[in-house]
Amino acid sequence: MLNFRLNYSKLNAAVLLGGALMFSACGGNNEGAEGELAGNIQIDGSSTVYPITEAVAEEFRAEAPDVRVTVGVSGTGGGFKKFTRGDIDVVDASRQIKPSEDSLAQANGISYVELPVAYDGLTVVVNPENDWVKDITLEELKKIWEPAAQGTITRWNQIRPEWPDREIHLYGPGVESGTYDYFTEAIVGESGASRGDYTASEDDNVLVQGVSTDPNALGFFGYAYYEENQDKLKVVPVDDQNDSNGQGAILPTLETVKDGTYAPLSRPLFIYVNSKASARPEVVEFVNFYLDNAPTLSQEVGYIPMPAEMYQEQKQKFEQFAKGTSAPQAQK
Amino acid sequence: MTNSDINRLKDKAFQVFGIFCTFIGLVVLAVFLIDIIVEGITRIDWDFLTNLPSRRASRAGILTAWVGTLWILVLTTLIAFPLGVAAGVYLEEYGRKNRLNNFIEINIANLAGVPSIIYGLLGLEIFVRQMNLGGSLLAGALTLSLLILPIIIVTTREAVKAVPRSVRDGSYALGASKWQTIWNQVLPASFGGILTGIILALSRAVGEAAPLIVIGALAYVPFTPSSPFDEFTVLPIQIFNWTSRPQEEFLTNAAAAIIVLLVITFLLNGIAVYLRNRQQKKVKW
For B128-152, write each residue's pLDDT tens digit.
Answer: 989 989 889 999 999 999 999 999 9
Q: Does B203 touch chain A (CB under 8 A)?
A: no
Q: Which of B55, B135, B224 sits opposite A300 (nearest CB)?
A: B55
B107 and chain A: CB distance < 8 Å anywhere? no
| CATH code of the domain made up of A123-264 | 3.40.190.10
Phi, psi of B259 (to 5 degrees): -60, -45
Which residue of chain A is at minimal alpha-carbon distance from B245?
A205
Q: Note the pLDDT of residue B244.
A: 86
pLDDT for A237 equals 93
A119-174 pLDDT per residue, tens = 999 999 999 999 999 999 999 999 999 999 998 999 999 999 999 999 999 999 98
Rounded to 5°, angle at Cα A250 from A245 and A252:
110
The span from the CA of B82 to the CA of B70, in Å, is 19
Establish whether this prediction's ipTM goes over 0.85.
no
Q: Specify the pLDDT at position B272.
A: 80
Length in residues, chain A:
332
pLDDT (0 to 100) of residue B196: 84
Predicted local confidence at residue A1, as pLDDT:
37
Contact state of B217 with A72 under an 8 Å Cβ cutoff: yes
List chain B residues with CB under 8 Å of A227. Answer: 246
Q: How long, in residues, is chain B?
A: 285
- pLDDT digits 0-9 by tens, B244-284: 888 888 999 999 999 999 998 888 888 888 888 887 777 66
Contacts with A175 (C-beta within 8 Å, 6 or more apart), sequence order: A192, A194, A200
pLDDT for A175 equals 84
Give the tens place of pLDDT for each residue, A278-310: 999 999 999 999 999 999 999 999 899 999 999
Contacts of A72 in chain B (CB under 8 A): 135, 213, 216-220
Asked if residues A252 and A235 have their Cβ atoms less than 8 Å apart, the reply is yes
Cα separations in angstroms, B231 against A86, A254, A272, B139: 17, 37, 22, 10
Res A330: pLDDT: 40
- CB B266: neighbour CB atoms within 10 A? 13
Q: In chain B, which residues have their Cβ closer than 8 Å to the Cβ of A74?
A: 213-214, 216
Determine the Cα–Cα distance for residues A94 and A101; give it in Å rounded to an integer. 14
- Cβ–Cβ below 8 Å for A74 and B216: yes
Pairwise CB contact (< 8 Å): A68 & B223:
yes
End-to-end CA, chain B: 50
The pLDDT assigned to A10 comes to: 43
Q: Looking at residue A35, what is its pLDDT?
A: 57
Task: Give the H/E segment covering residue A219.
Answer: strand A217-221
Are the C-beta atoms of A264 and A288 separated by less than 8 Å?
Answer: no
Q: Does the fold of domain A123-264 match that of domain A37-120+267-331? A: yes
Is residue A285 within 8 A of residue A59, CB to CB? The reply is no
Residues of chain A in contact with residue B228, where contact means CB-CB under 8 angstroms, are none
Q: What is the pLDDT, as a whole number, of residue B72?
A: 94
Q: pLDDT band for position B31 (50/70/90)?
A: very high
pLDDT in tens, A190-231: 888 899 899 998 888 999 999 999 999 999 999 999 988 999
Phi–psi pair at A110, nearest 5 degrees: -110, 125
Q: Tell whether the model's pLDDT for residue A23 goes beyond 60.
A: no
- Which residue in A has a C-alpha nearest to residue B274's C-alpha? A6
Q: What are the residue ranges spanned by the domains of chain A?
A: 37-120+267-331, 123-264
Closest of A270, A272, A268, A269 to residue A81, by C-alpha: A272
CA distance A296 to A52: 10
Query: Which residue of chain B has the CA closest to A56?
Result: B55
B233 three-state secondary structure: coil
| pLDDT of A117 above 70 | yes
For A46-95, how does the pLDDT look when each residue is reduced to its tens digit (9 = 90+)?
988 999 999 999 999 999 999 999 999 888 888 999 999 998 999 999 88
Checking if the pLDDT of A31 tops 70, the result is: no
Tell me the pLDDT band of B285, cut-offs 50, 70 and 90.
Answer: low
What is the average per-residue pLDDT within B183-210? 89
DSSP-assigned letter for residue A113: E
Q: What is the pLDDT of residue A21?
A: 43
Instruction: Pick the residue of B274, B279, B281 with the most A CBs within 10 A to test the interface with A by mutation.
Output: B274
Cross-chain residue pair A205–B216, CB shorter than 8 Å = no
Angstrom distances, CA of residue B209 to CA of A52, A279, B279: 22, 34, 33
**What residues of A are in contact with residue B206 (Cβ under 8 Å)?**
none
Is pLDDT at A32 greater than 70 in this prediction?
no
pLDDT digits (tens, 9 = 90+) for B211-226: 998 888 898 998 899 9
| A17: nearest Cα among B263, B45, B234, B201 | B263
The alpha carbon of residue A208 is apart from the nearest alpha carbon of chain B, in Å, by 9
- Alpha-carbon span B252 to B40, nearest angstrom: 5
A36-40, A152-156, B73-77, B162-166: which has the minimum mean pLDDT?
A36-40
Q: Do A14 and B217 lie within an 8 Å CB cutoff? A: no
Q: How far is CA A197 from CA A149, A206, A303, B158, in A?
A: 9, 17, 29, 46
pTM beyond 0.80 = yes
3-class SS of residue B59: coil
pLDDT (0 to 100) of residue A247: 79
Contacts of B223 in chain A (CB under 8 A): 29, 68
Q: Provide, as residue numbers in chain A, all residues whose Cβ is less than 8 Å from the Cβ of B222.
A: 57-58, 61, 68-70
Between A2 and A141, the higher pLDDT residue? A141
Among the CATH numbers 3.40.50.10800, 3.30.300.30, 2.60.120.10, 3.40.190.10, which is that of A37-120+267-331? 3.40.190.10
CB contact under 8 A, B222 and A224: no
Least confident window among A156-160, A262-266, A283-287, A317-321 = A262-266
What pLDDT was estimated at residue B135? 87
Q: What is the mean pLDDT of residues A21-29?
A: 40
Helix and strand counts by DSSP (H, E) for chain B: 12, 0
State the average pLDDT over residues A265-284: 93
